Structures are given as C-alpha cells and as structure tokens.
Amino acid sequence: MENGRDIINSINLMREINVGGSMKALCISASNILHSKENSISQILCSKITEILSEQEIMCEIVDLRDYCLYPCIGCGKCFENKRCSNDTDFNTIYEKVIESDVIFFVSPHYAPIPAKLSMILEKMEEITFLHWWKDNEYKSEVYGIPAGIISHGGASDWALKSYKAMVNDTIANALDTIQCKTVSYNSEWNTGISLPVQSVSEEENIFPVQKYDWDLLTQKLRDYIELALKEV
C-alpha cells in the first residue's frame, strides 16, 4: 500500500503530465439556492468559465454543490488514517475531483459570509491537512500548490465589491492557504480573486429581487482572470 508521501509524488507526477497534455480544470458552483435552477448566477458563471477554457481546449468539470448532500466536520479524527471523511461520501467524491485538477475555480455568492456547503468542504479539507501537518510540519497536502481562483458575486453594484472581497474572497482564501492551495491574485488590491457586480436590481411580484448583469463586462473580467490562473499552472 502506498504511504502518504508516495501518493503525493504520484499526484504531482500526474499534474506534470497534464501540463504537457490535456489540462483539467474544476469549477465549483457554491450557491445553495434550489429554486434558481439553471438560472443560478454561480452556475452561469461556471458555464462561462467552462466556455472560455474550452477555447484553449482545456476540459473543465462543473461541480454544482446543490447536487450533493454534505455534512459538517464533527472532528472525529478518522480522516487521519486515509485522508478521507468516513461520514461523508459526497465530500470524498468532490475531494477526489479537486485532487485530480490542475486548476480550480470557486464561484461563490455572498451569504453569511459564504454558502454552508462550501464551508463544509473547506473545513474538512482543512481538518485533513491540519491533522497531518500537526504530526509532520513538512507535510504537503494532496492539493499542495494547485492554483485556485476565487470569484464572488452578490446582489449589489460596484460599491459593495470591497465588502464581498472581505467576506467571501478573503474567507475562502484563508481556508485555501491552510490546505496549501495557491490563491490566484488578480492584482495587488484584489489579491484574493475577483468580485462581480450587478448592473441593476429591480423589485417585482416575486419576493426575491431581480438582478440584471452586464454579461459582456463580466465575461471579459472572467477571461482576464482565467488567463492569470492558467499562468500559475
């Protein structure tokens, strides 16, 4: 049976092979909102990321967290044995996809501050990494060095973006730092990814606000950020 270091070496070798061949990207759509269905902004943004990557013949899989039943970490420590959660098979499925990726994109709306299922994924990856690092301070996680882009969005325009960065991007980036991923910076000010505004918000008969977006503007912002992320692979 392979030990942890052998597994890490095997994963890193596969990433080196993929850089010279077919690159694999993963886009995690973190929205919890079931009623939005295919109109979920997180899902639409993931689809646009996939389209942009396909122009460079890069395969991108979308993980819609609404399709998974996830559970919070209970701190049982069983993940120390095999680096997987003994209580959450859906988490393990997603984690395998993360490990096998050359680049990851987290697309998250602003909740309080981030969606619950995304928080569950991050806390379990943190727990796996921390337990092994605690026993070996030279430990490298299974996701060590994988570039990770963070794209946040919410229901407000440009004036709220700094708040989204602080509450969404920075929160996710702190977790990614713990698990030893490499957060992709957009620039010196936006060092934990990008945040995308709405163009306008209107009130209709529905209890939820109706948000409209400048998709040409947002797509170009995504394109610029993806280019930066691919340079980190």
DSSP assignments along 120-141, one per residue: HHHHHHHHHHHHHHHH-TT---
Write down the pLDDT at residue 210.
Answer: 82
**pLDDT tens figures, 161-174:** 999 999 999 999 99
**pLDDT tens figures, 104-124:** 999 999 988 999 999 999 999
Residues 6+ apart with CB under 8 A from 175: 122, 123, 125, 126
Asked whether residue 69 carries a pLDDT value surpassing 80, the answer given is yes
User: Cα angle at 87 between 84 and 92, to 5 degrees?
Assistant: 40
Asked whether residue 1 carries a pLDDT value surpassing 50, the answer given is no
Write down the pLDDT at residue 176.
Answer: 98
Least confident span in 5-9, 16-20, 133-137: 16-20
Write down the pLDDT at residue 36.
Answer: 86
Q: Are the beta carbons of 202 and 210 closer than 8 angstroms? A: yes
Percent of the chain with pLDDT over 90: 81
pLDDT-based confidence at 155, cuts 50/70/90?
confident
**pLDDT tens figures, 175-224:** 999 999 999 999 999 999 999 999 988 887 778 888 899 999 999 999 99
Asked whether residue 2 carries a pLDDT value surpassing 90, the answer given is no
Write down the pLDDT at residue 21.
Answer: 56
Q: How far apart are CA 32 and CA 37, in angstroms?
A: 10
Write down the pLDDT at residue 13.
Answer: 46
Write down the pLDDT at residue 208.
Answer: 80
DSSP assignments along the chain, one per residue: ---HHHHHHHHHHHHHHHHHS--EEEEEE----STTGGG-HHHHHHHHHHHHHHTTT-EEEEEEGGG----------THHHHSS-TT-HHHHHHHHHHHT-SEEEEEEE-SSSS-HHHHHHHHHHHHHHHHHHHH-TT---TTTT-EEEEEEE-SS-GGGHHHHIIIIIHHHHHHHHHTT-EEPPSSSSSTT-EEE--SEEE--SSSSPEEE--HHHHHHHHHHHHHHHHHT-
Write down the pLDDT at residue 202.
Answer: 84
Q: Which fold has domain 4-231?
A: Rossmann fold (3.40.50)
Q: How far apart are CA 121 and CA 92, in angstroms?
A: 9
Q: How far apart are CA 125 and CA 178, in angstroms?
A: 9
Return the domain boundaries, the chain. Answer: 4-231
Average pLDDT, the chain: 91
Asked whether residue 9 carries a pLDDT value surpassing 90, the answer given is no
Asked whether residue 77 carries a pLDDT value surpassing 70, the answer given is yes
Write down the pLDDT at residue 22.
Answer: 85
